[in-house]
Amino acid sequence: MSCSVVARLRTGALIACAVVAAGCAPSPAPATTGANAVTRANCGIDVAVDSPPQRIYAAYQPSIEIAHALGVTDRLVQTAFLDAAVLPEYRDAQAKSDYVQKLPSRDELLAKKPDFVLSGYNGVFAASAQNSVGTRGSLHDLGVRTWVLSPLCPSADGLADEAIDPKTVRFDNVYADLRDLGALWGVAGRADEVVTQLSARIAAVRAKVAAAPRPRVAVVTPKDDGSYTVAGGIDFITQIIEAAGGVNAFADLTERRNVPIGAEALIARDPDIILTSQCCDAAYTRADAQPQVDKLVGNPAFANMTAVRANAVHPFLFADRAAGVRIAHATELVAELIHPGLFGR
């Protein structure tokens, strides 16, 4: 029986490929008791390796850029689903990587024989998600270790954005992920260097905006049906806005990261500054977000909003809301947009 047939029969924990011919998936990992064994906890799951993984699958923008930043490009068996163009410093590395825009099915993932899957979004392992590759537990049973960026930890394996703990949505959690992945992948020194660089850049922005007024910033995505979603308090952009010297105008909404609202709710909040949230294509740059700006500015209902009157509706990328190695770039960019006088704009 082939892997594809088995996977179509999966239910619940997705017991695919565990009982089929060799080559369907990596063999279960040996007990991590050797001299090079490393164990780190991630979202309530112990992730243990006997030696640095050599076949890494990176799903979503944050994980792809983290892999390049930590210098493991040559170990990537595939990368999937970029929200926008990678940062310039990773462009050459990404060009060398096998890339697919569509997230893999479980069969497609296992066909790559990964020994480690890093995801920039918890939905990859959500049992209810249409594009789930299976729960983390079901993959670990096959010897495939997994990691979810910890600011996105769900309340249990197999869930998505349910009950994200607001206390985990912090820069320190990104730094901890980088150091933990560095230890697991055998590149601890590189991870420390990345953390040092990111934290220094963010600290420099914080110092520059410390005495400035803190405008209210809304991150808004206009939808085709005339409704909108905004970034709530547990979305990582809240931390980026605060480091950049602003306040998320919707920070009090913490039930989910992306909150649907109507035009009336946006008008009532009357943000000082609006950022868009363009997604999802591997070629997108901020220029591709201009149509979202035009849609907001061109809506007569918004003509008297502070951000519109002040010409403070700016193109912005969903990728720059992520909890990954873009955090310094995003903090610098947001600071320039909301405090242009401090940054010579």
pLDDT in tens, 248-294: 999 999 888 999 999 999 999 999 999 999 999 999 999 999 999 99
pLDDT value, residue 33: 60
User: For 6-12, which contacts have Cβ atoms below 8 Å and span 24 or more sequence positions?
Assistant: 7/105, 7/106, 7/107, 7/110, 10/106, 10/134, 12/127
pLDDT in tens, 48-81: 999 999 999 999 999 999 999 999 999 999 999 9
3-state secondary structure of 246: coil
Low-confidence ranges of the chain (pLDDT < 70): 1-33, 345
d(CA 83, CA 64): 11
d(CA 162, CA 154): 6
d(CA 242, CA 300): 30
pLDDT value, residue 22: 35
What is the C-alpha radius of gyration for the chain, rounded to an integer number of angstroms?
A: 21
CA 251 to chain centre: 19
d(CA 36, CA 291): 51
